[in-house]
């Protein structure tokens, strides 16, 4: 399978100006993370090891965020010095690279089996991923005869029909027979204009599809896209939670040193109650160097945790075990996050724990690194921007049950 995918990431988002004012459209915020974040993670899940971003408008926003590697995927950039349309730029690259290309629109999320799409395209024909939709006037329908796309209709009301899903398999040399201008649209000026001579093949997919190009669908995407990265959870799954800033309120420039200073974040105790009905185990893993600094004793900390566990249980929840690391950061202890000692101890105590069927929810980059080292699904809590290695982001723990309870 092709290991490299190309994303058109230079869109301005003119129809989203009310929600995307100072960034390119593919960087539109979806539940606290850029739309491109989800596209790249989906490509990783499907076996790609490299993503090339075709950037132009406000490209530094994209390049500063994703840099040269993201979630283990190599990221590179091709910079559009002057506008060339969706076709001109990829035409130039296709001739330079001289290889087959998977091309994706940077404002559309479409869950397609890309390995099967590539396999179906071995004859060398251009292949378009297509999706059946009903009752919509946002798209132009395709006319398909047998295994060929023979026409492209203008946007109009569609009771039921197939549309272009914005993912293209472009075989090596597919542009060679055509004299194309410097700037052109790959859809209008290449596919549609040459529909008679191009053997355009449809690849049918019923996977989740959304185009974030208008505010209404952008609002829907805030919950529907993150849900694509949440598997079906049952009692074989484990939830790992950081404590301060996730379960209880932080004390600015201080530590929770006794029971009276432990204050639940609003809704977090109810969230633990709800999550206890879903997950087989809930485990807290927390760095507590206040002990190492002499600000409290281990007995003080255990009393805090007794209170937390008892109050969770009073309302129907359960925290199975609390693990803490009392050492100073300077000690470089194996138990201190992002080191994974606390999780490894939890697996010793509960052998049924499978890190590949676990979530880690925390509010710091070290929490995310802790979870990623063990291949957990990582969720970052808080209002700050992303790029700490998290898969999902949300404002508070209380948002998590709402997302996963379908």
pLDDT, residue 406, reads 66
Q: Which residues of 293-309 are buried (b: 16+ CB within 10 A; e: fewer)?
A: eeebeeebbeebbeebb
- Chain-wide mean pLDDT for the chain? 94
The token pair that represents 131 in the structure block: 């999706």
Cβ distance 292 to 254 under 8 Å? no
The token pair that represents 254 in the structure block: 């201080």
pLDDT, residue 167, reads 98
Over residues 88-110, the mean pLDDT reads: 93
pLDDT, residue 170, reads 96
pLDDT, residue 264, reads 98
Q: For 280-290, write each residue's pLDDT tens digit.
A: 999 999 999 99
Over residues 301-324, the mean pLDDT reads: 98
Show the domains of the chain with their CATH numbers: 4-227 (3.90.550.10), 238-404 (3.40.50.1000)
Cβ distance 377 to 358 under 8 Å? yes
The token pair that represents 356 in the structure block: 């590949």
Inter-residue long-range contacts of 366-370, CB under 8 Å, 24+ positions, other chains counted: 366/287, 366/337, 366/338, 367/242, 367/337, 367/338, 369/337, 369/338, 370/285, 370/337, 370/338, 370/339, 370/340, 370/343
Q: Is the pLDDT of residue 245 over 60?
A: yes
Q: For 56-76, write each residue's pLDDT tens digit.
A: 988 999 999 999 999 999 999
User: What is 320-385 written as a DSSP string?
Assistant: -EEEEE-S-GGG--TTSTTS-HHHHHHHHHSTT--GGGEEEEESSHHHHHHHHHTTPEEEEESSS-
Structure confidence at residue 15 as a pLDDT band (50, 70, 90): low
Catalytic center residues: 242, 244
What percentage of the chain carries pLDDT values higher than 70? 96
Over residues 90-104, the mean pLDDT reads: 93
Structure confidence at residue 105 as a pLDDT band (50, 70, 90): very high
Q: Is the pLDDT of residue 272 over 60?
A: yes
Q: Is the pLDDT of residue 14 over 60?
A: no
Predicted TM-score of the model (pTM): 0.94
Structure confidence at residue 39 as a pLDDT band (50, 70, 90): very high
pLDDT, residue 10, reads 82
Over residues 321-333, the mean pLDDT reads: 96
Q: Is the pLDDT of residue 386 over 80?
A: no
Q: For 120-176, write each residue's pLDDT tens digit.
A: 987 778 999 999 999 888 898 999 999 999 999 988 888 899 999 999 999 999 999
| Angle subtended at Cα 231 by Cα 73 and Cα 381, rounded to the nearest 5 degrees | 70
pLDDT, residue 365, reads 94
pLDDT, residue 107, reads 92
Q: Is the pLDDT of residue 241 over 90?
A: yes
The token pair that represents 385 in the structure block: 């921007």
């Amino acid at each position: 399978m092709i290991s490299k995918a190309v994303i058109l990431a230079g869109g301005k988002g003119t129809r989203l100006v009310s929600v995307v004012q100072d960034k390119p459209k593919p960087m539109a915020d979806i539940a606290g993370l850029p739309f491109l974040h989800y596209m790249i993670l989906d490509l990783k899940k499907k076996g790609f090891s490299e993503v090339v971003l075709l950037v132009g408008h406000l490209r530094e926003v994209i390049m500063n965020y994703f840099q040269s590697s993201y979630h283990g995927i190599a990221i590179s950039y091709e910079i559009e010095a002057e506008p060339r349309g969706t076709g001109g730029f990829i035409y130039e690259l296709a001739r330079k690279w001289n290889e087959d290309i998977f091309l994706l629109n940077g404002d559309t999320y479409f869950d397609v089996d890309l390995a099967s799409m590539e396999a179906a395209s071995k004859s060398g024909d251009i292949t378009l991923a297509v999706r059946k939709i009903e009752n919509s006037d946002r798209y132009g329908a395709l006319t398909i005869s047998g295994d060929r796309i023979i026409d492209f209709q203008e946007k109009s009301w569609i009771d039921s029909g197939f549309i272009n899903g914005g993912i293209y398999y472009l075989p090596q040399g597919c542009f060679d027979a055509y004299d194309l201008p410097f700037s052109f649209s790959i859809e209008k000026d290449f596919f549609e204009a040459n529909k008679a001579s191009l053997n355009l093949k449809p690849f049918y997919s019923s996977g989740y599809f959304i185009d974030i190009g208008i505010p209404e669908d952008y609002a829907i995407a805030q919950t529907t896209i993150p849900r694509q990265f949440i598997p079906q959870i049952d009692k074989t799954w484990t939830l790992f939670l950081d404590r301060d800033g996730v379960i209880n309120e932080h004390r600015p420039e201080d530590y929770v040193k006794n029971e009276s200073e432990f204050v639940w974040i609003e809704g977090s105790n109810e969230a633990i109650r709800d999550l206890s009905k879903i997950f087989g185990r809930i485990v807290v893993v927390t760095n507590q160097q206040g002990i190492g600094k002499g600000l409290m004793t281990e007995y003080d900390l255990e009393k805090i945790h007794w209170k937390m566990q008892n109050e969770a249980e009073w309302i129907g929840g359960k925290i199975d075990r609390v693990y803490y690391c009392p050492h100073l950061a300077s000690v470089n202890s194996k138990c201190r996050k992002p080191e994974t000692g606390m999780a490894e101890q939890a697996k010793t105590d509960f052998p049924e724990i499978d890190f590949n069927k676990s979530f880690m929810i925390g509010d710091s980059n070290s929490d995310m690194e802790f979870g990623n080292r063990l291949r957990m699904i990582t969720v970052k809590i808080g209002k700050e921007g992303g790029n700490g290695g998290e898969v999902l982001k949300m404002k508070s723990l209380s948002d998590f049950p709402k997302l996963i309870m379908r």
